[in-house]
Every structure is written in structure tokens, then in C-alpha cells.
Structure 1
Amino acid sequence: MSQPLIFPDRFLWGAATAAHQVEGDNATSDWWEWETDPSPKAPMAEPSGAACDHLNRYKEDIALLAKLGLNTYRFSVEWARIEPRQGEFDPKALQHYVDMADTCLDHGVTPIITLQHFTLPAWVTRAGAWTNPSLPAWFRRYTTRVMEHMQSRAPYICTINEPGNMITRGYLGTFPTPPFVRNLDAFDAAAAGVNAAHRNAREVIRELAPGVKVGMAHALQDWHANSGGVPTLEWARELHEDRFFAETAEDDFLGVQTYTRLDVKAPRSLGHVSAALLRSRRLTQSLVLPYLRRQAAAAVPVEGAPDDGIRRTLMGYRWAPEAVEATIRRVARLFPGKEVVITEHGVATGDDADRVEYLRAGLRVVHRLIGDGLPVTGYVHWSLLDNFEWWDGYRPTYGLVAVDRTTQERTVKPSAHWYGDVARTNRVPA
């Protein structure tokens, strides 16, 4: 008879949200400008609007998380609210996020705070966003204001969420997102800007809040390729992941976010051709990026999984809850002994029984990783609420808690109770 899986004492059991996806009316952000543009630069299912009104309902939402049995809440502070215009800081916004952290602590919940989760103040994006040489200094100034108020309330700070996703989408066109640039030189500048901003933020946090752990939350894929696909895999992984590991050796922890596996297949005979193509910046710029631009222009919000015989989520992702094992083992090889927190893991599904299945399968491999001696200290489910999923709008449902789009009423799903029992008992039932 199989036995329950016991997790270490003081393991972090959490759920996550991001400000723009749940707060509502984030009107000074670059995403809001796109969402409300009468002639948008790319298709979007719907605007974020009032989202989940978490800006006003955070106390009840955090209380609900704690009541379920979770001990950790990862949320982001919104730069666009804190500094809506360059050099002008809103004291009420700063105090709001301090109050969120204090609400967590009042309920015995550990806050994990993310400083930047995809959105930027509109003024930053108009000024060139991550390619502007002043961006790292602006991010330092912003981080300083946040940490002067937040101090040591949150034991973990994620400076930047999924830099690989954000920069490849915004500067190479893998998906349509601000700032809608399609240029390798701009990508290189933006990636360097992200790493410099992260480094600046880390320095500020260590100065103002000694003992607080600092890291990035990385979107990592479980990559698989046949011989013909290896050059493309290596090119894509370097741009999407490895480029943003530049500072990780100096970080206190590494956030891992894995939702699926990606298969890169091509005829063996094309392997050398694609390798030569991708080694040439000129050919990549003239051939690969226009292809990505056409794909982005043709993109439509997710309408469900294709009928290809592969089990998929509402995002169209291959069903692969175990993929997080491969990504964590990879970063453990790259950064031996580095603390790992699974800062996101979850599934978009309309069938809540699928969510329990996904959670169970994912936690099974997490338990195996810990048993093999890897320093995984926490698991944070995405997400707490059914929220705004960027260009796909509100259709993909990731939440442990449903949100009525008209009344904002919260309804706890059975998966939330299952996961809460896991967190409360520190064990996954057999």
C-alpha cells in the first residue's frame, strides 16, 4: 500500500497573483494603454477592466487563503501605481502594499513579493522601456522607495517575474505584448537592461533589508528535441532562459515556473541548415523575426486545445505537470546548492478534478526532488483566483477560487480544499 508523501517542516505552501491580473483599473500602466487603444497593436481577447477588484478586496482574499490552510502568498507590487509619473511617488500606493504584507503576517502567512510582473508604467515604456540606458537607475530608485516602506516584512523578494517570457515576447514577437519591438539588437539591449535592473534591485534590498532573500522568478521549459531540432532548441533556450541566468549565481534563491514541455522537431537534414541560419544575426533578423512577426499578427486569443490527440490545457499547453522536475534538476546542476522556490505551477482547466490531478502529479515529483537532496523549500500554486490571463483575457481559469465576473463573488473550488489540506498536514495523501 502506498504511503502519503511527507514534506519538510516549514515548507512554504502558497498561492500567487500578480497586480495587473487581479487588482483592476491599472490605468497608468503600459498594458492598460494597449487594452484601451482603439487601434491596438495586436489582438486581445478583452481588457482587464476591474479584474478581481483585489485592490479593494485583498484583506478578504488573504484571509480566505489563510483559512484554506496555506502559509504563503506571493503577490506583486505595481510600479505603475507607485510611480505613475516619472519621479512622482504615490504614498498611498506604497502604504497599500505594506498593508497587504501586514495582512499576510497578521494571518500567519509568509509574503513573497515581486517587484515587477510584466507591466511597466506607461511613461517607462514610452521612454524605451528596458532598452533605455536609464532604466536600471529608475528601477533602483523604485526599489528603494518600496523597500524603505516594506523593510523586512517579506522574507523573499522576486525582483522580476519571467524575464525570458517578457523580453522574448516584447522584443522578438513570440507573442504580442508591449513594447511590440521586433529587433535582435533591441532584444540584446533589453535583456542587458533587465539583468542590470535586477542587480541594482538586489543591491538596494541587501542594503535596506539585510537577511531578506533576493532572486528572480524564471519561466523555464522542459525542452525536448530530436537531432534536427537541437540547434533551434539551443538557440531558443539561450534567448529565453540562459540569458537571464547572468546574475543568478549571486542571488539567494531561484524561482522556477514551469507549466509544460516543449518539443522541437525537425528533419535531421535541416539541423545543419537551421544551425547556420541561427548563427547569422543578419539571417535571423531578416528571416526568423519576420516569421515570428507574422505569427504574432495572426495570433488570436486562446480558444481551447487543438484536436491533435494530445492532452492539453485551456491554454493549449501540453499536459505535463511533471515537467517541473526536469527544469529544477537543470538549474540544480547549473547552480549547485542554490535554494529553489517553485514560485508558480498550475493548470488552466474548466474541470476542477483536473486541477487536483495536476497538483498531485506535480507535488509527487517535488517530493522526489527533495528526497534526492535538492534544496526545494516551497511550492506556490498559480493562481489563487481566476484572473486576467493577459492577451487571453478571462477564459483560461487557473484559480483555486472562482470569481464571478459580474458580482466579484468568490467561490472556493474543491481543489482549494484539497490543496489546503495538503498544506495544513504537510503531506500529500496516498
Structure 2
Amino acid sequence: MSYRVRGMGLDRELEQKIDQKYSLEDENELVEWIVSVIMYGQGKTDFEDCDIEIPKCSGKQAFQEWLMDGNVLCDLINVLKPGSCRPQKTSHLTNTAMKKMKEMNNIMMFLNAATDFGVQNTDLFQTIDLYEARDLAQVQVTLYKLGSVAQNKQFEGPVIGVKIADKNPRKFDQNLTREGRNVIGLQMGTNQVASQKGMTPYGLGRQMITKIDLCDGGIVEKLLSSESNFVSGNTTLSERILSIILLNYFKTMASRPKGYGLTAELAAKTASKYDVESAKTAGEWIQQLTGLSPIGSSSEEMQEWLKDGFVLCSLINAIQPDSVKNLKRQKMSFKQMENISKFLDAADKYGVKRTDLFQTVDLFEGQNMPQVIITLFNLSSMSLKKGFTGPSIGVKMANKNERELDEQKLREGRNVIGLQMGTNQGASQKGMTAYGLGRQVAPNK
């Protein structure tokens, strides 16, 4: 799935920091727990009697390869919460693109099931963290959190991690609640070296924002049903704020919120490279070739327009007919990613260098839109080189200018003294010692 070479620039810096967080000790403990849970679900006590494959050795690569098709993860969550996953077997598939899409879909099913089971979204890894080994330390965190939630759910099988504390809600009658409003909390200051710093005007109660239960499907449905809810004033302030959060959150594929720590640093550097004018030029070029109009030139608008892969496949078909066959608009995530992969494969075969192509997640999750625009410009440049007569953007790639030299010319070339060896132009004896004498070196005084 991944085309761009790793190990350079920001990617290398980020990978080095993430690698330091991975624990081989945690890996061994997690492998033992996962195998034990699956055996418990199958009613087996002897490992030789079950059909579970375990990593052949320890290490990040072996751990990733063991989990990356999603089947082990789905088997694990199905024991903790029966019937929550229906993984697709992929070992028999010969179509590489289809196999990758189904494996990623298995991982996404596990993540959705883990969320339903009770794991917090902030504790979940993203699909590419496992599938492309971007952050295997976060995969370990997710599995430990899953073990902790299982203990809270009174799972009777093998356990791992620390049990999450149960809620201890306290109910107060009206009198105690009224008395609480008159208490000056330390966040408002203290009467030691008395001050009114941070207090609200006299007579006003503490301003509280109503807490909304995200598990309440009715509220979520209400907030997402229409944007007019938080414009017309039919909802509270907290509901309006939450509406904005939800509308942006549920449109993304990644489970873990973006914008923290190393991810935020990398995302900010990547976003700063996005050029709106270049994106606008690329959008107009695509429209000229396909007749499909862009919805805007901002990073978010270009991502929304291109993410299902239909526009990109239409583009490559306009440049090189029948590059992508049986093209359809898709609504399912893994089908949309399959369209993107088909475009990348077609662009690769057309001649665009793999190091110039974006990765599927760069577009589908909006992780690197500048690289998407670069790919479009490189595709146009390659089309000019191949003699495409339609509209184009960018610069035509130079043709090779190979020269064939006969054996005599090659032999003569070996006798040429290159400038890196010095030159005999302006030859003189300046600075030379007398004949027969070594160089006179005066000792430091």
C-alpha cells in the first residue's frame, strides 16, 4: 500500500521517537494473553490442541505480521464480546490490492468493536499504526486498555493490565447543592492572603456547562441531523459546541483524535507545505480532462473531493484509456481506498516514480495533502513526456540523452586528467625546494 520511501526528514524523526516507546517485555506479555484468551474461548487448555498461530520470534516485525491481517484481533474481541466481529479470511487471495483492503477492513472492524466494548477512542490505535507499523507502541496501549475494560466487564478468562476504577456517583439533595454554591473553591482563590480573584459577580451562581452523554444515541442523532440546530439557538451552548466536534469527528476514519504530541508537530509541518494556488491549478486541470468540478481548493475541500478515488481514476483514464476498468463511485471505506490504490497502481505503470506518489492514507485521512498535489503535477509532467496532447500542468520531464561512444573514445577518456587531480595550467616551480632536498619544515617557536 505504501509507495513513498520512508526513513527521511520528518518521517524519520517521528519514527525514531515512536520506536523508543515500544516494549519487548510488553509484547511477550500481550502475545501470551491473546493466545490464552482465544484458547479460553475455544474451551482448550492445551496449546497443541488448538489452531492458533503465534509469532515465530519476538520483535516488532514479527508482532506486526502476526496481527496485521486483523484475524487474531477479531478472534480476541469475539471472545470478550461474542459476535462483535466477522473477519474476512485473506490467505487465499492472490489479488494484492483486494487482500490489503480486506485486511484493513478487519482491523477497522476490531477497532469499532473495541469502541462498542468500552475502550476510549483516545486509547485506540489507527489502522495504519498497525498495518504500516507506524506506531506499534500505541497498538500495545490499545490491547492493555482492552484487557482493563474486560476486567470491568467481569470477564472470567485470562486478564491483563490494571482494572479501571468503577464510577462512584454521589447524589445530593437540594439543600446540600444550595450550600455547595456558597463554598469558595480554591480555583477561585483562597482567603489566606484574602482575595476575590477569579470570583463571579456577587449573587451569581457558578456557571456550569451541562454534561452530555455521548452514549445517548438520541442526542447524537439530533446533533448530526441538521446544522441548523446550533445556528438557530434550539440547543444549549454545550450541545452546539459538541455538534461541531461530532460533525468533524464522525467524518474521519481514524479513531484516535489528531492534534497531540508528535502527531501535532508532524501535522503542522506537513500542513504548512500545502499551496492553495497549486491545488486550484490541479483542480482546474482535472476538471478540463474529466468534466468533474472541484468543490474548492482548500486542503479539506480537495480531500473531500478526491477521497473516494473516483475522480482520480477518471483522470488517469482520460490520460491513458482503460487504466482502471469497471470504475464506480463507492460508499464503503475500503472500496474507496481500493479505488485510490487502483489509481496509484495505474500511475506507477504509466511511469510516475514511486517516490513521487502519495500513500493511500495521505489522501483518505488527509494526512499529507501536499504530497497528493505533488503527485498530480508529476502525473501531468509524465503525460507531456509521453506525448499527451491534452491540457497539462507543471513542467515537461526531460528526455534521456544517451550517447554511445566507440572503444577508441572510451580509451582516450581514460587518459584525461580530471580537475580533481589538479591541473598543469600555469605550471611553475614556485615554493619548490632545491633539487634533492626534502621539504624544510621550521619547528614552532
Structure 2 length-normalised TM: 0.21
> Which protein shows a greater Rg?
2
Bigger relative contact order (CA 8 A; separation at least 6): 1
- Greater share of strand: 1
- Greater share of helix: 2
Structure 1 length-normalised TM: 0.22
